[in-house]
Amino acid sequence: MKFLLATVAATVIATVAFAADPVPADLRATALDIFKPLPSTYPAVNDNPITKEKIDLGKALFFDPRLSASGVFSCNSCHNLATGGDDNLETSIGHGWQKGPRNSPTALNAVFNEAQFWDGRAEDLKAQAKGPIQAGVEMANTPAQVVATLKSMPKYVDWFKAAFPSDADPVTFDNMAKAIEAFEATLITPAPFDAYLNGDDGAMTAEQKEGLALFMDKGCASCHSGINIGGNGYYPFGLIEKPGSEVLPENDKGRFAVTATADDSYVFRAAPLRNVTLTAPYFHSGKVWNLRQAVAIMGTSQLGEDLSETEVDRIVAFLGSLEGRMPEVVYPVLPAETGDTPLPSGDVK
Amino acid sequence: MKFLLATVAATVIATVAFAADPVPADLRATALDIFKPLPSTYPAVNDNPITKEKIDLGKALFFDPRLSASGVFSCNSCHNLATGGDDNLETSIGHGWQKGPRNSPTALNAVFNEAQFWDGRAEDLKAQAKGPIQAGVEMANTPAQVVATLKSMPKYVDWFKAAFPSDADPVTFDNMAKAIEAFEATLITPAPFDAYLNGDDGAMTAEQKEGLALFMDKGCASCHSGINIGGNGYYPFGLIEKPGSEVLPENDKGRFAVTATADDSYVFRAAPLRNVTLTAPYFHSGKVWNLRQAVAIMGTSQLGEDLSETEVDRIVAFLGSLEGRMPEVVYPVLPAETGDTPLPSGDVK
């Protein structure tokens, strides 16, 4: 009896909330002008036909810690598919226990970003994949040593041959990156928001729809749009009001480092927001752990709006509808080293 | 035609080799007195009934880096199921980039070891699981913080309730360890050697059988016996002749640290040899990367035998027959942190 009453009360409250802010009749149509649902198939990527052999090889490489000099870190260490495609750290810990400069972005749906990294310095995932492997504070390896490592294991050589059948010398650093890109192109997470865009009214709650309406009305969608609800444009962090240096550290000028243009000071790629409920902490600095707080900061810094508690709640509810179904990944079995495999070294140069 | 000739030639060579050292007629019977094939079902473990719910929870915990203080290391970091259940490092790199004292043993088939760790200081896997999580050079966490972390995530609380349905307060450090033990009990790798013991003459090559015969004749099987071909007894490293300190570092006295008995100086648990072809480097010190060299060292140090090249080859071939079929593990999707989850810290105390 107590249960039944509770249910009735909840229904009344939900109805009242819904009545107070009716969802606009053209909500889906408006949303479809700004956003796009995920496709039902893997996207094509530039200059890299995706095949099953390439995906399988890429998965092995993605999980292989021997791509790092120390043998400790794989791509998955900082882009962990078990935890939303990132590492839940302010900034990643890498080779020699060094801290990286920026928060690790999720690998999920990353194939739909216009460019990769917070400053967009890699044009696609195959260019991105080469960065952390060579970064001294991350995997601290060299292309030559990676290739020597891969060539030392006959199974890897076979897998590269199968993935790149027309290459005379298939085991290369470029092909490694292409295979990783092919695997990452499969990391797609269809969410309730996609189902809603595709026509299912019941896929999102009334509060999530109100949040979506707000997200567009307030202007969040000016930067966070497209298939990834972000990830497709560059904007100054602090467009209206610069946040404090505890959120926006002064020494990281963002895209300025890429373009050397004064206008690009503190400019970053708008974060793609799929699965944002899983990828705390937030911003390139990773300084904000709470999603409500992150939304409020965006309101003041980018829109000049002090969002109310209710508005923040609704926007966060909408963001919840971007949490998708994770791809099922069978953990790979990697080839064993041979006597020719370079030995791992944790030494810091 | 070329193909056919090659096949015939290979057959002739195999027959000649076989004829030179005929496999003893009673090889399997002799082997079955010393070894045991893996069972076809998960083994029962002490005081911890294994259920599907417990296995699923244990898998999540095994892969969860949030069991470490830094958020960087999971059980799988050093017992990587992609690379033979270990990390292919001399000794593991852990919290603060510190190096552990001994080579990380494989988690595969570990449930069949008589006790855990190189010195056997944990009586079973649930006792073992608690060690690295708290070790300052490994995951550097505390039971209180682990429990707070797990309790902060409602899904984990549900999973613990499902795994320990009769416990009033199921989220405990002990139950965490029991769930990990349950998952690890599923990490069993049936190998050609098992098929041979079970009656399949064709499962092992002639050379592998000759190696098996040698392994028993020479005395290797005195220490490396049972279901795990080792892992079930303690023996001095250097029984006949102490290897140099580059292989047997003087400051690690092995089981002496557990029993404080002079007889236990430099005594270690005989390494279980299943999948040994995948778990270089070798010995508690992790100083030997080459399996042929490791076999030769065992010959001189434990048996007082200078094994010939052919003998080493054959024994290594036999060890290859211990390489099993890896369990298929679907990579888990872990619960997201909440505002109550303790923040990760890479600080070194």
Condensed to tens digits (0 to 9), the pLDDT of residues B165-209 reads: 999 999 999 999 999 999 999 999 999 999 999 999 999 999 999
Q: Which residue has the higher pLDDT, B226 or B115?
A: B226
Asked if B95 contacts B73 with a C-beta cutoff of 8 angstroms, the reply is yes
**Helices (runs of H) and strands (runs of E) counted in chain B:** 14, 4
Asked if B34 contacts B225 with a C-beta cutoff of 8 angstroms, the reply is yes
Asked if B91 contacts B101 with a C-beta cutoff of 8 angstroms, the reply is yes
pLDDT band at A11 (very low <50, low <70, confident <90, very high): very low
Per-residue confidence (pLDDT) for residue A1, from 0 to 100: 34
Report CB contact under 8 Å: B344, A97: no
Sign for the CA dihedral angle at A327, A331, A335, A340 comes to positive
Amino acid identity for residue B217 in this structure: D
Per-residue confidence (pLDDT) for residue B20, from 0 to 100: 52
pLDDT digits (tens, 9 = 90+) for A54-103: 999 999 999 999 999 999 999 999 999 999 999 999 999 999 999 999 99
How far apart are alpha carbons A345 and A343 in whole angstroms?
A: 6
Judged by DSSP in three states, A303 sits in: helix
Share of chain B above pLDDT 70, in %: 94
What are the chain A neighbours of B66 within 8 Å (beta carbons)?
Answer: 83, 88
CA B54 to chain centre: 21
Report CB contact under 8 Å: A65, B80: yes
What are the chain B neighbours of A332 within 8 Å (beta carbons)?
Answer: 82
Closest CA to B329 of B37, B54, B63: B63
Report CB contact under 8 Å: A71, B87: yes
What are the chain A neighbours of B332 within 8 Å (beta carbons)?
Answer: 82
Q: With 80 as the cut, is the pLDDT of residue A236 above it?
A: yes
Q: With 70 as the cut, is the pLDDT of residue A298 above it?
A: yes
Share of chain A above pLDDT 70, in %: 94
Closest CA to A152 of A340, A345, A344, A335: A340
Q: With 80 as the cut, is the pLDDT of residue B95 above it?
A: yes
Between strands B98-99 and B234-236, the pairing is: unpaired
- Please state the ipTM of this predicted complex: 0.92
Judged by DSSP in three states, A293 sits in: helix
Q: Which residue of B has its CA nearest to A278?
A: B336
Which token pair is B101?
């004292």
pLDDT band at A349 (very low <50, low <70, confident <90, very high): confident
Report CB contact under 8 Å: A82, B326: no
What are the chain B neighbours of A87 within 8 Å (beta carbons)?
Answer: 65, 71-72
Judged by DSSP in three states, B143 sits in: helix
Q: With 60 as the cut, is the pLDDT of residue A251 above it?
A: yes
How far apart are alpha carbons A121 and A134 in whole angstroms?
A: 15
Per-residue confidence (pLDDT) for residue B10, from 0 to 100: 42
CB nearest A336 (choices: B84, B328, B343) = B84
Per-residue confidence (pLDDT) for residue B119, from 0 to 100: 87
CA distance A63 to chain B (A): 8
Between strands B98-99 and B93-94, the pairing is: antiparallel
pLDDT band at B12 (very low <50, low <70, confident <90, very high): very low
Asked if A188 contacts A38 with a C-beta cutoff of 8 angstroms, the reply is yes
Q: Which residue of B has its CA nearest to A275?
A: B336
B134 in the Ramachandran plot: left (φ > 0), alpha (ψ -120 to 50) or beta?
alpha
Quick check: is B138 catalytic?
yes
Inter-chain CB pairs, A–B, below 8 Å: 89
pLDDT digits (tens, 9 = 90+) for A143-202: 999 999 999 999 999 999 999 999 999 999 999 999 999 999 999 999 999 999 999 999
Per-residue confidence (pLDDT) for residue B18, from 0 to 100: 46
How far apart are alpha carbons A289 and A271 in whole angstroms?
A: 15
Per-residue confidence (pLDDT) for residue B309, from 0 to 100: 98
**Beta strands of chain A (E only): which ranges?**
234-236, 267-269
Report CB contact under 8 Å: B334, A83: yes
Q: With 80 as the cut, is the pLDDT of residue A115 above it?
A: yes
What are the chain B neighbours of A96 within 8 Å (beta carbons)?
Answer: 97
Amino acid identity for residue B238 in this structure: G
CB nearest A72 (choices: B66, B93, B289) = B93
Asked if A111 contacts A43 with a C-beta cutoff of 8 angstroms, the reply is yes
What are the chain A neighbours of B337 within 8 Å (beta carbons)?
Answer: 88, 280
CA distance B86 to chain A (A): 11
Per-residue confidence (pLDDT) for residue A274, from 0 to 100: 98
- Mean per-residue pLDDT of chain B: 93
Asked if B89 contacts B97 with a C-beta cutoff of 8 angstroms, the reply is no
pLDDT band at B256 (very low <50, low <70, confident <90, very high): confident
Report CB contact under 8 Å: A330, B334: no
Q: With 60 as the cut, is the pLDDT of residue A5 above it?
A: no
pTM for this predicted structure: 0.92
Report CB contact under 8 Å: A82, B331: yes
Chain B contacts to A (CB-CB under 8 A): 63-66, 70-72, 77, 80-84, 87-89, 93, 96-97, 99, 277-278, 280, 289-290, 326, 328-334, 336-337, 339, 343-344, 346
Report CB contact under 8 Å: A337, B93: no
Q: With 80 as the cut, is the pLDDT of residue B50 above it?
A: yes
- Mean per-residue pLDDT of chain A: 93
pLDDT band at A20 (very low <50, low <70, confident <90, very high): low
CA distance B331 to chain A (A): 5
How far apart are alpha carbons A63 and A80 in whole angstroms?
A: 9
Q: With 80 as the cut, is the pLDDT of residue A4 above it?
A: no
What are the chain B neighbours of A329 within 8 Å (beta carbons)?
Answer: 330-331
How far apart are alpha carbons B216 and B235 in whole angstroms?
A: 17
CB nearest B82 (choices: A63, A93, A277) = A63
Chain A contacts to B (CB-CB under 8 A): 63-66, 70-72, 77, 80-84, 87-89, 93, 96-97, 99, 277-278, 280, 289-290, 326, 328-334, 336-337, 339, 343-344, 346
CA distance B291 to chain A (A): 9
* B234: DSSP letter: E
Query: Among A181-190, A214-223, B120-129, whose mean pLDDT is lowest?
Result: B120-129
**Averaged over B18-27, what is the pLDDT?**
72
- DSSP bridge partners of A116: A122
Q: Which residue has the higher pLDDT, B14 or B200?
A: B200
Per-residue confidence (pLDDT) for residue B21, from 0 to 100: 64
Per-residue confidence (pLDDT) for residue A19, from 0 to 100: 46
Q: With 70 as the cut, is the pLDDT of residue A43 above it?
A: yes
CB nearest A84 (choices: B326, B336, B343) = B336
Per-residue confidence (pLDDT) for residue A2, from 0 to 100: 40
Closest CA to A332 of A132, A62, A102, A8: A62
CA distance B261 to chain A (A): 35
Which token pair is B168?
């009033």
Asked if A73 contacts A118 with a C-beta cutoff of 8 angstroms, the reply is no
Which token pair is A165?
């059948």
How far apart are alpha carbons B193 and A265 in whole angstroms?
A: 64
Q: Looking at A138, A184, A210, A311, which residue is catalytic?
A: A138
Q: With 90 as the cut, is the pLDDT of residue B221 above it?
A: yes
CA distance A278 to chain B (A): 5
Other CB atoms within 10 A of residue B9 CB: 10
> What long-range pairs does A130-136 form, CB within 8 A, spacing at least 24?
A130/A173, A130/A177, A132/A75, A132/A78, A132/A94, A133/A67, A133/A68, A135/A94, A135/A100, A136/A95, A136/A98, A136/A349
What secondary structure does DSSP assign to B148-204, as a single string? HHHHTSHHHHHHHHHHSTT-SS---HHHHHHHHHHHHTT-----HHHHHHTT-GGGS
Kindly give, in sequence order, each residue whose CB lies less than 8 Å from that of residue B213, ignoring residues fewer than 6 positions away. Answer: B21, B23, B24, B27
Q: Which of B83, B288, B347 to mutate to test the interface with A (most CBs of A within 10 A)?
A: B83
Helices (H), A205-304: 206-217, 220-223, 256-259, 291-298
Q: Provide the CB-side half-sphere exposure for A86 (13 A, CA).
A: 29
Report CB contact under 8 Å: A330, B330: yes
pLDDT band at A256 (very low <50, low <70, confident <90, very high): confident
CA distance B221 to chain A (A): 25
CB nearest A331 (choices: B82, B99, B339) = B82
Q: Tell me the angle at which helices A52-62 and A154-163 cross, rounded to the nearest 10 degrees.
A: 140
